[in-house]
Structure 1
Amino acid sequence: MDDFAAYRNQSRQAEPPQRDARAGDSDFDSLFEDDNPGQIYTSAPKEAFKLGYFDVMCLVLNRMIGTGIFNSPQRVMQGTRSTGATLLLWLAGVVYCLSGVHVYIEYGLNVPRYTINGIEQSVPRSGGDLNYLQYVYRKPAYRKGTVLLSTCMFGFCFIALGNMAGNCINFATMVLSASGNDDPSSGAVRGIAIGIAILTCFIHTFSRRGGIFLNNMLAIIKVMMLLLIIVTAIVVGAGGLKNADGKPVTKEIENNTRPSSAFAESGGANGYAHAFLAIIFSFSGFEQPNYVMGEISRPRRKHPVAMLLGVGTAILLYMATNSLTLLQMVVVPSDDQIYDNVAQRFFELTLGSLNNSGTGKRIFHAFLAISSMGNIIVMTYTAARVKQEIAKEGIIPYAKFFAQDGDISLGRLLNWFKKRGMFSSLLSTRWLSPEDHMERTPVGAFVLHLASCFVLIFATWSMDPESSYTLLTSLSAYVINAFFGTFLGLGILILRFKGPPKTDKDEIQSPAAPPQTWRQMTGKHINPTLSVICAVIYIIGGLWPIVTIWIKPNEPDQRPGKPDEQRLTWWLVPTITWSVIGGSVFWFLGFIAFAMRRKHKRNEIFVVEKKPEFESADGPDDSDGRTGGYVLVHETVYLSWIAGEIHESKGSGTTGFQERPDAMSAAPVNRYAGTDFEAFYQEERVAAPTKAYYSDYRP
């Protein structure tokens, strides 16, 4: 008997009737409705509008090739004070990046796991680290599968620091510098930073496809920019570029490769920690596809291939422009690498030497503005999806508003024109058809993303733009990449040696069968030995800056004729980050205290019910017999405080949305009568043959 017959060759299901009945209402009705304030409905994009190979590659390239590749070389050289040590650190960054890619591919294809028709299997889902931390670290928790400590910690930290405030400030600074304003006021920088943050959120809200198209275009431009740098460095090395006086541009490779320069006295442990944090930030971005796994077409096939191609391309470009000495050693003197921006000095000494009008500096600032813009575009798109998933856990106030999808897209505007007979000929074309531009986006999550960005921009008002950028990017790299990355790597080791969490016996077809090991779950496509090695490297790479950044640095090296180094107080970054991490723990404890008080006074408990709907990822043209598994199509989430006696009286039987075949004919008893879950319970009984339930969120 085929347990998945109901899903084979299944066309995409329409949205539930209750949503269709409100199709004519304004979008604000769906965001602020009061009929069931605990109900959240989300849906994945249509198959034609999902991300393909090229889109996923551009997500990786546009995020990895950002301001880090231009700004990090100086920060790395300041930390190491040695070109040889710098190159070794960049090579270590490559190994760290590739290990992280393997960790995220392993998680992305195998977590989270659902029980569908009695068989446990993985279904890719947006949310990235949130899903993986919840799967491995299930305790402590408020209740089983509800409000976990890991959820609160990651959710609190990601909402606070998972944004592009640093890149917004950098974009503003570079735009003003490219226009000739080398000393902009703090108000001008913050004003432009806020403006670009609002613009990117509006673009992704108004047109999801437009935001993806812009992301792809900026990724292509960035690749061309780095290729220009590589070619220019090669021309300089060959003596083919002459300055305004007709003389070849000076080559520094002989000076920079001398043992006294390449392996000079290095900086202290704190300097190396800050240097590696800068490298981590430069290589961060490979995890972006995991944040939007639910929007990738046939993710089991396209996600790992596109992710590896994107990361491989970025690493090759990084090594060519930075680590393999084309940028640092051929053109820029080692002293300038410490005290000046390496990329800026490169343009000044190459293209800027063609005339004396400051062309090289302005070209560099224009390139950096484009890089910042690309980072802002891609991070706004992916981070909003993660914050939407965080809101669906019910751990923040106004969870419905921040988690609900809304439609204020271009398609609504075009449909408004069409109803009034305006632009009829244009709207009948394929490109401007309203139906092709009607998209639901996480409007509330964009508001949350924008608000957190505002807070960080205003919080650094008194700092100069360069220090603000350094601080904000270091905070993000320390918490999101290093701290939680360490726990993700540790999670792989836990799954390998301790085994995955056990599935409830009443949800599987053969309760007496031994539970699957993680090796059986991942299958033959994930090598166990390589998995362990990559996890260990990822843990070490994350722990190194976490620990050594607390070591007090040596006194800065002041050389004759060089200005004082602009650096942040050495303890500022770890103090702020651990304060944020501590705040996330107190957030969890505060929820527990609030829930206990409510239980004591009203005898109510907090319940999270999730009802996902799946369809086969394989299309009708898949004739090779391969299966792409299932993808999430719709999901309805119910958040509510219900009476404790109602919850306790439901018994110990099956509580999933899909009943066993031998129990489907039994007369159902509504255990949630008189609560927000009453309609939800009735709907699950009607739709049982085609719905599956995520067992991790059982009350």
Structure 2
Amino acid sequence: MTHERQPLLATADILDDVPREVQPGQKHLTWISAYILVVSRVIGSGIFATPGTIVKSAGSVGLSLLIWLAGTVLAACSLAVSMEYGCMLPRSGGEKVVYLEYTYPRPRFLASTMVAVQAVVLGFTASNCIVFAKYTFFAFNVQPTEFQHKVLAVGLMTAVTIVHGCFLRTGIWIQNALGWVKIFLIGVISLTGIWVILVRPYGHDLAPTTNVFSWDTMWEDSNWSWNLLSTSLLKVFYSYAGLNNVNNVLGEVHNPVRTVLTVCPAALLTAGALYFLANISYFLVVPLEDIKNSGELVAGLLFERLFGSVGRTLFPLAIAISAAGNVMVVTYALARVNQEIARQGFLPCSRLLSSSKPFGAPLGGLIVHYIPSLLVIALPPQGDVYNFILDVEGYPGQVFSLAVAGGLLLLRDREPDLPRPFKAWLPAVWLRIAICVSLLAAPFFPPRDGKSDVNFFYATYAIVGMGVIIFGVLYWYVWTVLLPRWGGYHLEEEDEVLDDGIKITKLVRRSEN
């Protein structure tokens, strides 16, 4: 069957599409599993690794906390947009596969091509693998070589891919268990600040630092450069990344609309409260200069100062385990995004990559995710690679966020009768759009003294990110416009059902004659 390109879902069968995509017996995720999938995705390396860099960029305690507060509000605005989309289009794929495709069916194939390029080029899980390796070596007081560090990070990524690709239910059980470990750990860090205030366990090796919260000192050395503030906000967004993680796998969730309406706000409240308390704990226990120079090991310094050698070993090891749990949930979700892209015919070997054989898991999508992750971990030199990865991931993400938020307003005008069990507050949508525009422009405003939080040209991450976007547009133009014009053919879609019941869409060439 061939047909002209239409929006991914017709309005009349938005809700009916889910049972065709995933049979009821294949809906593995309960409410608790969905909550853990979101919380474990959100609470990853961000709160353990980014506060030191944010404080270094902001320069002061007050501005650092203000950045976290602003980032939390903006994350809530972004979540509201995702919730409205998730309730309108409750199927697997999320904003980059379902929402953009449905909202922007013209130019033909552009949205899908941009998503496919971004998923392949930037769809990696490297940052948490790096944090896992760093905290593991830190826990055992080992000074690793660069090669050893990369081997451990790649080993984690390989193990996670094998587990999710060959042992689906085991992988879900493991990531649920690690999710609870992660919640316990961030809870311990968050309550540490309250414990320090109440018990005041100051000894000769733990000088009181509570004076950083006096109004006279908490704003000292604040750096209000928008360039540096924008990269700090990107890191806060990274710390909240995954609040809409359940949207990527709604085809596998029981009662998807109800789950979106309850799981997402619960995860935001959980993460926001724990993040704020964790930052307070860092400032109460670790001297400000040590935080600025801590790199990704600020949580390790906190436990070392509080609990000595025991804290230096056990808690950093727990952080490493929680980072591994984050790798598991990110890989779980992004593999299904890649599978959805393959089902639409925008990856080569779409039959192979779309299938869930032989283990009932998206092994092809996992492989597509594994390759760029492996390259990003193995190829760049150590040093500022962690911060650079976060910035490069975050910048193009603002382009997609802008398209999704703007598309929501477009859909409200274009399809006002579309069922919307949840409707985002309009000022929140406009605020999200304004911040996206501001963050996209920020890298081109030089920071004070021309120094950024990495040892590169301050706009390098933006140049690389926009390079990926431009490459996607050029790739779309070549394979959908230029080559068909030269070859005298046009592209059409042909539906096919695989042996395992999954429906895919093949892109086929049709001669103009």
TM value normalised by structure 2: 0.89
Q: Which amino acid aligns with 1:72?
A: T
SS in 1 for 2:106: coil
How many angstroms apart in 2 are the aligned matches of 1:240 and 1:638?
A: 63
Shift in alpha-carbon separation, 1:476–1:286, aligned structure 2, 3 A: same
Deviation at 1:288, TM superposition (A): 0.9
Which residue pairs with 2:460 in the alignment? 572
Unaligned runs of 5+ in 2: 1-12
8 A Cα contact 2:36 2:176, kept in partner = yes
Deviation at 1:607, TM superposition (A): 2.0
How many angstroms apart in 2 are the aligned matches of 1:134 and 1:169?
A: 33
Which residue pairs with 1:319 in the alignment? 276
How many angstroms apart in 1 are the aligned matches of 2:343 and 2:30?
A: 26
After superposition, the C-alpha distances for 1:83-124 in whole angstroms (9 at most, x for unaligned) are 11111111111111111111111101113xxxxxxxxxxx53
How many angstroms apart in 2 are the aligned matches of 1:550 and 1:405?
A: 44
Deviation at 1:166, TM superposition (A): 2.1
Greater Cα radius of gyration, structure 1 or 2? 1
How many angstroms apart in 2 are the aligned matches of 1:253 and 1:165?
A: 35
Which residue pairs with 2:4 in the alignment? none
Shift in alpha-carbon separation, 1:387–1:472, aligned structure 2, 3 A: same
After superposition, the C-alpha distances for 1:619-649 in whole angstroms (9 at most, x for unaligned) are xxxxxxxxxxxxxx95422415254479xxx
The answer as to 2:248 corresponding to 1:291 is yes
Deviation at 1:522, TM superposition (A): 3.4
Deviation at 1:556, TM superposition (A): 7.7
Which residue pairs with 1:399 in the alignment? 350
Unaligned runs of 5+ in 1: 1-6, 14-41, 112-122, 142-147, 353-357, 410-439, 501-516, 558-563, 614-632, 647-699
The answer as to 2:338 corresponding to 1:471 is no
Deviation at 1:377, TM superposition (A): 0.1
Find the partner of 2:401 among 464, 477, 485.
485
Deviation at 1:242, TM superposition (A): 4.8
Q: Which amino acid aligns with 2:278?
A: T
After superposition, the C-alpha distances for 1:510-568 in whole angstroms (9 at most, x for unaligned) are xxxxxxx1xx3234x434xx4322211222232332211222222389xxxxxx98644
Which residue pairs with 2:422 in the alignment? 526
After superposition, the C-alpha distances for 1:261-312 in whole angstroms (9 at most, x for unaligned) are 3354324221111111111111111121111111111212223212222222
Which residue pairs with 1:186 in the alignment? 146
Which residue pairs with 1:683 in the alignment? none
The answer as to 2:282 corresponding to 1:333 is no
Q: Which amino acid aligns with 1:596?
A: R
Deviation at 1:157, TM superposition (A): 1.0
Shift in alpha-carbon separation, 1:192–1:258, aligned structure 2, 3 A: same
Find the partner of 2:52 among 70, 74, 78.
74
Which residue pairs with 2:366 in the alignment? 446
Deviation at 1:240, TM superposition (A): 4.4
Which residue pairs with 1:459 in the alignment? 379
Shift in alpha-carbon separation, 1:106–1:329, aligned structure 2, 3 A: same
How many angstroms apart in 1 are the aligned matches of 2:363 and 2:271?
A: 31
Which residue pairs with 1:547 in the alignment? 441
Deviation at 1:50, TM superposition (A): 2.0
The answer as to 2:105 corresponding to 1:138 is yes
Find the partner of 2:484 among 578, 590, 595.
595
Which residue pairs with 2:239 in the alignment? 282
Find the partner of 1:499 among 386, 411, 414.
414
Find the partner of 2:33 among 49, 55, 71.
55
SS in 1 for 2:142: coil
8 A Cα contact 1:153 1:584, kept in partner = yes
Q: Which amino acid aligns with 2:116?
A: G
Which residue pairs with 2:333 in the alignment? 382
Shift in alpha-carbon separation, 1:494–1:454, aligned structure 2, 3 A: same
Find the partner of 2:113 among 142, 146, 152.
152
How many angstroms apart in 2 are the aligned matches of 1:219 and 1:398?
A: 34
TM value normalised by structure 1: 0.66
SS in 2 for 1:350: helix
Which residue pairs with 1:637 in the alignment? 504
Aligned residues: 494
Shift in alpha-carbon separation, 1:484–1:317, aligned structure 2, 3 A: same
How many angstroms apart in 2 are the aligned matches of 1:48 and 1:157?
A: 28
Deviation at 1:396, TM superposition (A): 2.6
Which residue pairs with 1:351 in the alignment? 307
After superposition, the C-alpha distances for 1:21-79 in whole angstroms (9 at most, x for unaligned) are xxxxxxxxxxxxxxxxxxxxx95264375211101100111111111001111121122
How many angstroms apart in 2 are the aligned matches of 1:642 and 1:250?
A: 71
Q: Which amino acid aligns with 2:503?
A: T
How many angstroms apart in 2 are the aligned matches of 1:606 and 1:137?
A: 18
How many angstroms apart in 1 are the aligned matches of 2:375 and 2:355?
A: 23
Deviation at 1:185, TM superposition (A): 1.3
Shift in alpha-carbon separation, 1:43–1:199, aligned structure 2, 3 A: farther
Which residue pairs with 2:74 in the alignment? 96
SS in 1 for 2:449: coil
How many angstroms apart in 1 are the aligned matches of 2:202 and 2:209?
A: 15
Shift in alpha-carbon separation, 1:364–1:539, aligned structure 2, 3 A: farther
Q: Which amino acid aligns with 2:193?
A: A
8 A Cα contact 1:171 1:373, kept in partner = yes
How many angstroms apart in 2 are the aligned matches of 1:318 and 1:337?
A: 16
Pairs within 5 Å for 1:406-445: 406-407=357-358, 409=359, 440-445=360-365
Q: Which amino acid aligns with 1:546?
A: L
Which residue pairs with 2:312 in the alignment? 361
SS in 2 for 1:552: coil
Deviation at 1:251, TM superposition (A): 2.3
8 A Cα contact 1:93 1:280, kept in partner = yes
How many angstroms apart in 2 are the aligned matches of 1:80 and 1:388?
A: 40
How many angstroms apart in 2 are the aligned matches of 1:444 and 1:639?
A: 16
Shift in alpha-carbon separation, 1:254–1:203, aligned structure 2, 3 A: same
Which residue pairs with 2:490 in the alignment? 605
Looking at both structures, which has the greater relative contact order when contacts are Cα pairs under 8 Å and sequence separation is at least 6?
2
Find the partner of 2:469 among 549, 558, 581.
581
How many angstroms apart in 2 are the aligned matches of 1:566 and 1:303?
A: 37
How many angstroms apart in 2 are the aligned matches of 1:163 and 1:313?
A: 26
Pairs within 5 Å for 1:656-675: none
How many angstroms apart in 2 are the aligned matches of 1:45 and 1:346?
A: 48
Pairs within 5 Å for 1:168-317: 168-182=129-143, 184-243=144-203, 249-317=206-274
Q: Which moved more, 1:443-452 or 1:542-551?
A: 542-551
Q: Which amino acid aligns with 2:419?
A: T
How many angstroms apart in 1 are the aligned matches of 2:439 and 2:310?
A: 37
Shift in alpha-carbon separation, 1:441–1:597, aligned structure 2, 3 A: farther
**Identical amino acids, percent of aligned pairs:** 23
Deviation at 1:606, TM superposition (A): 2.4
How many angstroms apart in 2 are the aligned matches of 1:264 and 1:198?
A: 43
